[in-house]
Chains A and B, each alone.
Chain A
Amino acid sequence: MAEIRTEEMLMNVGPQHPSTHGVLRLVVKLDGETIVDVDPVVGYLHRGTEKLAEDLQYTQIIPYTDRMDYLAAMLNNYALVHAVEEAMELQIPERAEYLRVIVMELNRIASHLLFIGAYLLDLGAMSPFLYVFQDRERILQLFNEICGARITYNYMRIGGVKWDAPPGWIEKVQQFVPHMRESIKMLHDLITGNEIFLNRVKGIGAYDAETAIAYSLSGINLRCTGYKWDLRRNRPYSIYDRFDFEIPVGKNGDCFDRYILHLEEMEQSLRIVEQACGQIPEGPVMGKVPKILRPPAGEYYSGIEGARGELGVYFVSDGKDKPYRLKFRRPSFVNLQLLPSLLKGQNMANLIAILGAVDIVLGEVDC
């Protein structure tokens, strides 16, 4: 019998592909159904935020951070203002800190909800997407009321927040918490037990903690391996040391763990929101800041726990009102590096399952 001649095939997934969550292009080398090699091509959304920032005052950079991780813009806002506040050693009023924590955790929930919806959509389940959008919509409504925008908030300022909560807003958040708990339970019923889903994600794309640390992964991508690393606990910032919450970790480091951690983290975020709503004091929401923000010359780094991992801001100040150099450590960008080695040897259908679980936002990857 004559030997069948085979050859490898190159295939482009993306840049315009619904499952790459934006404009990510994967050049996949296939041997039949098996992936031999993957080359992620990024940069289609590169806007040069870091270069633009060199010509902008610190306050003017805040709207640009909205557009990096556009699913968790509050956290981006905070990463920048926190870095500048640390550098200038500014005093933040209590109420502002509480408001920040509330909106950040709500934003984390909104971002995780969208992950679950989009991930299930990738795997072929249409309806969870619609379910999570209902709850996400409520969070966006809350944000719309407090800062006047649904996605690009531009809410935080160096030294505080732009607006105090409108009357009745805190109560609305408090009402939202039990509703969201119900929704999480509903999502568990809807998705977590589903056998088709479990077959797609259990044991897929697993790696261990050593690999994760070597590749500088952070956030859920690191915690799914069982390594407890959350900057809210390990390097407390803001007022997170006042709240009682847990850091859920996975065991196997596979796609299922990454999925389930998103749900568990939402529950912890709800706990934080609940406590913060109960403790929030009255008072001003904007601290005393100098008229012109000029961090003293030097280098500064501060990292916060973003929705996707460690969101860091490294900036060099030369004592002027604009940064000399501003670098964002974007979790999606760093987390995506591991993808090629995860995909090698997998079959083509798993590409979507593994890529989706990394939870990237291309606005952030490309910055």
Chain B
Amino acid sequence: MSEDQKETLPPSSGDGGRSGRDAASSEAVAEGVDAKRTASPSAGGEPGTKPQEAAPKREPAAKREAPPKKDAPPKEPDPREAPARALLEEVVAEVKTVFPDAVEGAELQKFRPVLLIRREYWRDVLHLLKTGERLRFRYLECMAGVDYPQGGYIEVVALLTRMPEATMIEAKTRTPRDAAELPSAVPVFPGANWEEREIFDLLGVHFEGHPDLRRIMMPDDWRGHPLRKDYSPFE
């Protein structure tokens, strides 16, 4: 499968289940917040004792680099963009050599490569990402589930990190809401155990092959899955 075939992800901006009780009302509130804050006693705007004489600005966090960029025309790409895109392409290519049709989409989210995996391949791709010779994303940093009622699916996200370099990628997959089921990642990452239990508890995704799939936060006899957008505590 060739490189140019990968589609981009649809923007994950589901809007289901949320009534518009917010926007207008929050305007006034935020205004008030600002009005009060400026009252802090700030003596002189110039940075008095300019600190870092010893500290070389090695790889400064991006926000300190932002000011010149803000004035510059927005056309100029962020310096973080190119390496992230290279990594994304490398990972996608690597996955595609083993599982040609596993990758449904790939994109960059805030300079973090994101791969959308077809759910049948979920565990296999995670295993590949962990053990693959040129991949080695062996640290599962975080797992989360997100409900998109409008798209009719639940997204499960796994953030994986390559250990000493701390480069992070995001793998995610989708499962239909009404029959939410996924292969469990526990055989690959033992640390996914409780995270998956939490996703099962709060979003109702069944993880096949999970050693101990029980509710973890809510009581065992609880009905419904609270983090679903259409959840109501009253039946």
Contacts and interface: CB of A to CB of B under 8 A. Distances in A.
Interface of A: 42-43, 46, 48, 50-51, 54, 57, 59, 85-87, 89-92, 94, 157, 160, 162-164, 213-217, 229, 231, 234-239, 241-244, 278-286, 289-293, 297-301, 303, 310, 312, 314, 316, 318-322, 324-325, 327, 329, 333-334, 336-337, 366-367
B109 A298 contact: yes
Given A42-B217, A299-B157, A94 B47 contact: yes
B164 to A, nearest CB: 8
Contacts of A298: 11-12, 109-110
A163 B140 CA distance: 37
Nearest to A312: B142
Interface in B7-29: 11-15, 18, 22-23, 26-27, 29
B51 A242 contact: yes
Contact of B40 (A50, A59, A163, A292): A163
B31 interface: yes
Contacts of B168: 301
B14 A291 contact: no
Q: Is the interface of A mostly helix, strand, loop or mixed?
A: loop
Given A297-B13, A301-B112, A85 B189 contact: no
A214 B190 contact: yes
Contacts of B49: 279-281
Interface stretch (B91-99, B121-129, B191-199): B191-199
Contacts of B146: 316, 324-325
Contacts of A329: 141-142
23 contacts: A42-B216, A48-B226, A51-B226, A57-B30, A214-B191, A217-B191, A234-B164, A235-B166, A236-B59, A243-B55, A281-B47, A282-B43, A283-B42, A284-B40, A297-B13, A298-B110, A299-B114, A300-B110, A303-B141, A324-B13, A325-B144, A325-B227, A333-B198
Given A92-B63, A213-B163, 4 more contacts: A281-B47, A293-B30, A333-B194, A337-B194
B61 A237 contact: yes
- 8 closest Cβ contacts across the A-B interface? A216-B191, A279-B51, A281-B47, A327-B144, A242-B55, A329-B142, A318-B13, A291-B30
Contacts of B58: 241
B40 A286 contact: yes
What is the interface of chain B mostly: helix, strand, loop, or mixed?
loop
B41 interface: yes
Given A43-B216, A89-B66, A241-B55, A281 B27 contact: no
A229 B41 contact: no
A322 B15 contact: no
A334 B141 CA distance: 9
Contacts of A322: 22
Q: Which of A50, A57, A320, A327 has the most CB of B within 10 A?
A: A327
B51 A286 contact: no
A319 to B, nearest CB: 6
Contacts of B153: none
B189 A321 contact: no
Given A215-B191, A236-B61, A321-B22, A301 B42 contact: no
Best-buried of A85, A239, A324, A367 by chain B (most CB within 10 Å): A324
Contacts of A217: 191
B22 to A, nearest CB: 6
Nearest to A310: B141
Contacts of B60: 241
B55 A244 contact: yes
A283 B198 CA distance: 44
Nearest to A42: B216
A48 B226 CA distance: 8
A286 B37 contact: yes
Contact of B12 (A43, A85, A316): A316
A284 B45 contact: yes
A160 B157 CA distance: 30
A194 B12 CA distance: 56
B233 to A, nearest CB: 10
Max chain A CB contacts within 10 Å: which of B22, B31, B168? B22
A359 to B, nearest CB: 17
B66 A292 contact: no
Contacts of A278: 51
Given A157-B37, A214-B189, A236-B59, A300 B109 contact: yes
B198 to A, nearest CB: 8
A299 B194 contact: no
B75 interface: no
A163 B38 CA distance: 10
Contacts of B50: 281
Contact of A216 (B30, B55, B139, B227): B139
B37 to A, nearest CB: 5
Contacts of A215: 190-191
B79 interface: no
Contacts of B38: 286
Contacts of B219: 43
Contacts of A292: 26-27, 30
